[in-house]
Amino acid sequence: MTNTIRSLMLEGARRLSNSNVSSASLDSRVLLCHVTALSPEQLLLKQNNPIAMPKVAKFLGFIERRQSHEPIAHLVGKKEFYGIEFKVNRNVLIPRPESETVIDLAKPYLKDNISILDLGTGSGCLLLTLLSFFPKSEGVGIDISSKALQVARKNAAALHLHKRGRFIKSDWSNLKFKSQFDIIISNPPYIKSKAISGLQEDVKDYEPLIALDGGITGLDCYKEIFSIAQRLLKFDGLCIFEMGAGQFNAILRLAGNYGFKVQKSAKDLAGKIRAAIIQKS
């Protein structure tokens, strides 16, 4: 095999395809861009250029890891969310397009100089994205995982938002603040416990279980969110969160039990309701 960009990209795609990786060609290209520090356009223009052996070895090492279904985001150490690049690793949930519905819902309702509480912040992508849009606002991200908070703090520093976004390790049941918040946001664990084993390998084997498992019904965390919102959300504040496909009606009833009304919901690209705004009724 000649070690040109084109030959390596084809070889990577072949190996990934043989390992039943559905996005074999795309993944091979992404990994080669990462190793060579070239853009996809540059990769095409320089496809006949040779690659030095150390980079060949690094690329094939990444391909081997991807053959075991390790997520691309973990291999390259980053993931784009709402046009912003976030650092990620095995300690945080990889930001997904479905979660962008939370931002889409929030933006028209928010004004600057607000306070935001992010429950289960993970990489910090929700909180930091909103802070990037509202430069006079401040927020707090809560997570039980110290390693997840390390990632969130690195993202805050990289985005120059560390002075307005702080991150606290805490169990949700122990939250104590002197003042209430204008906005509470969350992408909580919402997958039913028995469904975890049926998830794709790159999710169930590599992403943190604590960020996936929503208990027997998948609704455990929403009960905590609504309970927290009763205490920590201002009377005219909003609680905005992601949910699993098919969970909207159950969450609608649950919100009513806690004294909230659903103000608006948003659908993902597949047409399924994936986010909602609730307000004290």
Q: What is the pLDDT of residues 86-133, one digit of tens each?
A: 999 999 999 999 999 999 999 988 888 999 999 999 999 999 999 999
Residues 111, 104: contact at Cβ < 8 Å? no
pLDDT for 168 equals 97
CA 233/CA 225 separation, integer angstroms:
10
Say which CATH architecture domain 90-280 belongs to: 3-Layer(aba) Sandwich (3.40)
Q: What is the pLDDT of residues 206-235, one digit of tens each?
A: 999 999 999 999 999 999 999 999 999 999
Q: Indicate the residue type of 192.
A: K
Q: What is the pLDDT of residues 74-90, one digit of tens each?
A: 999 999 999 999 999 99
Give the rounded distance of the alpha carbon of 174 from its chain centre: 24
CA 186/CA 225 separation, integer angstroms:
8
CA 186/CA 189 separation, integer angstroms:
9
pLDDT for 193 equals 96
- Reported confidence tier of residue 2, pLDDT bands at 50, 70, 90: low
**Residue 169: both structure tokens together:** 């390790």
pLDDT for 220 equals 94
pLDDT for 74 equals 97
Tokens 């075991």 — which residue? 68
Pairing of strands 115-119, 138-143: parallel
Structural domain boundaries of the chain?
5-68, 90-280
